[in-house]
Amino acid sequence: MTDASNRTAAPLADGLVLGADGHPRCAWGASAAEYVAYHDQEWGRPVRGDDALFERMSLEAFQSGLSWLTILRKREAFRRAFDGFAIAVVAGYTEADAARLLSDAGIVRNRMKIEATVHNARVAAELAGGLAALLWSFAPPSRRPRPVTRADVPATTVESTAMARELKRRGFRFVGPTTAYALMQATGMVDDHLAGCHVR
């Protein structure tokens, strides 16, 4: 998360700010209203459902090369366009659906990412045991201490590299180690809220 900090947030330490509401939080989580809500209520909390994890995986792929804030602001449009990211539904999309998605100004209209999302739904639909079981099998076995500064937050880990490798082996697209680690952060497989952040 690299967007500039909100001017109303006061810096506390490397990677932490005091928000306008008086709560210390990770600096990226105070840089826009959408970030505050996402940081405080969602990021780092465990997500277990197959469809919910498919949504997060898909949005991380769409975010590649863009600001996460762009994706958050388009999230409801993405959910409408992709039928709530229901794996069984998206796996059945046709060329007509791809054309519909490419003409939808509410989402990121990138043909490769749209096609990858449909393809990934088809792969996920065929997984024995489901997507959640596969993804969570790469969660670190024990929680490390929360990072103290943003310099302590890695971009990739051994686990995210292994996850990306296995996902690619199974046929998933747009799932490199950095994207895999962002997915792990977003879905509570790791807790990268800084130690001084008010979110526990």
Residue 5 pLDDT > 70, yes or no? Answer: no
Which residues fall within 8 angstroms of residue 61, CB to CB, at 6 or more apart? Answer: 113, 116, 117, 120, 173, 174, 175, 179
Structure tokens at 165: 């490798």
Task: With respect to residue 148, please indicate whether it lies within any of the assigned structural domains.
Answer: yes
Domain count, the chain: 1
Residue 24 pLDDT > 50, yes or no? Answer: yes
Q: What is the pLDDT of residue 20?
A: 87
Active site residue 38: yes
Task: With respect to residue 129, please indicate whether it lies within any of the assigned structural domains.
Answer: yes
Q: Is 39 annotated as a binding residue?
A: yes
Residue 193 pLDDT > 60, yes or no? Answer: yes
| 57-80 per-residue burial string, b: 16 or more CB within 10 A, e: under 16 | bbbbbbbbeeebbebbebbeebee
Task: With respect to residue 78, please indicate whether it lies within any of the assigned structural domains.
Answer: yes
The pTM score is 0.92
Q: How confident is the model at residue 1 (pLDDT cuts 50, 70, 90)?
A: very low
Question: Of 35, 68, 136, 181, which one is the catalytic site residue?
Answer: 68
Average pLDDT (154-178) is 97
Q: How confident is the model at residue 39 (pLDDT cuts 50, 70, 90)?
A: very high
Q: How confident is the model at residue 62 (pLDDT cuts 50, 70, 90)?
A: very high
Q: What CATH number does the domain containing 124 carry?
A: 1.10.340.30
The DSSP element (H or E) to which 17 belongs, if any, is strand 16-18
Residue 14 pLDDT > 50, yes or no? Answer: yes
Q: What is the pLDDT of residue 27?
A: 93
Which residues fall within 8 angstroms of residue 161, CB to CB, at 6 or more apart? Answer: 177, 180
Task: With respect to residue 37, please indicate whether it lies within any of the assigned structural domains.
Answer: no
Question: Of 35, 43, 55, 60, which one is the catalytic site residue?
Answer: 60
Q: Please write the tens of the pLDDT for every residue from 118-153.
A: 999 999 999 999 999 999 999 998 778 899 999 999
- Structural domain harbouring 179: 50-187
Average pLDDT (64-74) is 95
Residue 9 pLDDT > 80, yes or no? Answer: no
Q: Is 197 annotated as a binding residue?
A: yes
Q: How confident is the model at residue 8 (pLDDT cuts 50, 70, 90)?
A: low
Average pLDDT (61-68) is 94
Q: What is the pLDDT of residue 4?
A: 40
Active site residue 68: yes
Q: How confident is the model at residue 81 (pLDDT cuts 50, 70, 90)?
A: very high
Residue 181 pLDDT > 80, yes or no? Answer: yes
Task: With respect to residue 135, please indicate whether it lies within any of the assigned structural domains.
Answer: yes
Structure tokens at 17: 């700010």
Task: With respect to residue 172, please indicate whether it lies within any of the assigned structural domains.
Answer: yes
Task: With respect to residue 197, please indicate whether it lies within any of the assigned structural domains.
Answer: no
